[in-house]
Amino acid sequence: MNHGWEYKSWNNILKIYNGKNQKAVENPNGLYPIYGSGGIMSYADAYICPENCVIIGRKGNINNPIFVPTKFWNVDTAFGLSPKDSVHPRFLFYFCKVYDFEKHNKATTIPSLVKNDLLKINMPVPSMEVQERIVAELDKLNELIEIKRNQLKDLDTLAQSLFYETFGEPFINSKGWLTNSFGELASSINYGTSLPATDGGKYPYIRMNNLTDNGYLDLSSLKYIDIPDAELDKCLVKKGDILFNRTNSREKVGKTALFDRNEEMVIAGYIIRVRANSEILNPVFAVRYMNLPEMKEHLRKICRGAVNQANINSKEMSSIPFLVPPIELQNQYTIKIEAIEGQKRLIESSIADLETLLASRMDYWFNE
């Protein structure tokens, strides 16, 4: 929207700091954090930038501005933008969040920006009073979003604490539960299909990237597949199935999620489908158990292969030791977990609404 503000060239209202290859200069005593186009990286070598700068990528991730309130060392994959007195640093940041830097990219491979092109950018510059009002509004929305995200983290911590309180730690078994192997608690164990995805396929196709690191399904980027009827039964999933990612990087192998949907979907060959024996194992309990830090460490120890292609086959997965509390206690725990998940869904919906509002307000202030 055109608010009648004066447009000024970046050449006149800010200073652009180049970065330098982090191996080229010593960072005295590791005093400053190093920032690049992907965010904070480590303590290392680069050029120093002043407080309240905006980082934009020079190469690679060029459309992800980052606000840095402290002094820092800037690497050669990013530019540091330091506004002059007429521009509020956070106002510059929000402008950069909306601005499409991609239109200045002239590279055919890795996206890249050139300093001289940036200096030609014209930016609306209202009075400082108006800038401060806009910044206060947008900062408040971001603050509310961050509060909600912290609430989600608190609920995740609560759920994990509830597990330890109810069942104890998995390899200590201080409560003296019966123990068994994962395989002996399952009614069936099957690999998914090795067939490729197909355009216009009938069934949504769950691959290893659709299982999150913390035990949930992320179906935002689904592919589809057609399956012969003879193969369908062993790779079709239904509500309550446990999905185990058998091949991935060493850090991610063994990701385990609960399939909690009602629609029919098919799993890829890198996933093992486990159906729990409902008389002795609740799948919600099982998935929470598999996502404990102690279990993730155990999975890293038993996996085979290279760092980027580790593997746990069905036999090795079946041998994973399990606590087996009474099914009644598992079911009671599941009711509490479902209540926590219900609260999380409400918060996630609130976050989505706030993010939509934030995007709308940023569009109102900065887009013509």
Three-class DSSP labels, 111-133: CECCHHHHHCCEEECCCHHHHHH
Q: What's residue 335's pLDDT? A: 98
266 contacts 191 by C-beta, under 8 angstroms: no
Q: Which residue has the tokens 């019966």?
A: 178
Q: Indicate whether 43 pLDDT > 60.
A: no
Query: Domains of the chain: which residue ranges?
Result: 7-126, 127-161+328-368, 178-324
pLDDT at 19: 74
Amino acid, res. 51: E
- The answer to whether domain 7-126 and domain 178-324 are alike in fold is yes
According to CATH, the topology of domain 7-126 is Adenine-n6-DNA-methyltransferase TaqI; Chain A, domain 2 (3.90.220)
Chain-centroid distance of CA 75 in Å reads 24
Question: Minimum mean pLDDT among 34-48, 92-106, 238-252, 301-315: which range?
Answer: 34-48
pLDDT at 31 over 60: no
Confidence of residue 3 (pLDDT cuts 50, 70, 90): confident
User: What type of residue sits at position 298?
Assistant: H
134-193 tens-digit pLDDT: 999 999 999 999 999 999 999 999 999 999 999 999 999 999 999 999 999 999 999 999
The band of 236, judged by pLDDT with boundaries at 50, 70 and 90, is very high
Q: What is the CATH number of domain 178-324?
A: 3.90.220.20
Q: How confident is residue 107, by pLDDT bands cut at 50, 70 and 90?
A: confident
| Helix residue ranges, H only, the chain | 10-13, 89-98, 115-119, 128-167, 229-235, 283-290, 293-302, 314-318, 327-366
Average pLDDT along the chain: 90
